[in-house]
Amino acid sequence: MVITKTGIETPTLWFEDAVVGDELPEVVKQPDTRQLVMYAGASQDFVAIHYDRKVAAEAGHPKVIIHGALKSAWLGELVTSWIGSTGRLLELDVSYRAIDFPDDVATCVGKVTETRIENGVGIVEVEIGLRNPEGAITTPGRALVSLPTKTTFS
């Protein structure tokens, strides 16, 4: 973030710099059961499958599973880190397709799929996903963001 003499923040990412096919910088997470307990407390999501190994085993899992909403939050972090404080996250949609487990590396990935100007606003669509250690995308999704344009900013 750069603040000018006028107090206006200069964007770190401009609409004009977002190109279809560009990949977002990956965000790597190394979740453990402690993080799941902390998230459960913060979100008030105390479903036992996220902390009780016996309940997880009865559901057919080798260990407790990561909260879906926590995976969504990580994907939101991926996008908001990329757009910086002058971009705006307009939409975030994800689909839980597979289960992720603590102690497995989870990598958040994204790629620009569309750019357009709507009513003078730079709009960028991004395909996002959470990739497990085997390389499968367990939580695919999309994000829609707005970014400042160089023509409207000056």
Residue 82: C-alpha distances to residues 9, 134, 150 (Å): 16, 25, 17
Q: Would you state the pLDDT for residue 9?
A: 78
User: Is 60 exceeded by the pLDDT of residue 1?
Assistant: no
Give the separation between CA 116 and CA 66, rounded to whole angstroms: 35
Number of folded domains that form the chain: 1
CATH number of 75's domain: 3.10.129.10
Give the separation between CA 152 and CA 154, rounded to whole angstroms: 6
Q: Would you state the pLDDT for residue 6?
A: 56
Q: For the whole prediction, is pTM greater than 0.85?
A: yes
Range of the domain at 119: 2-153
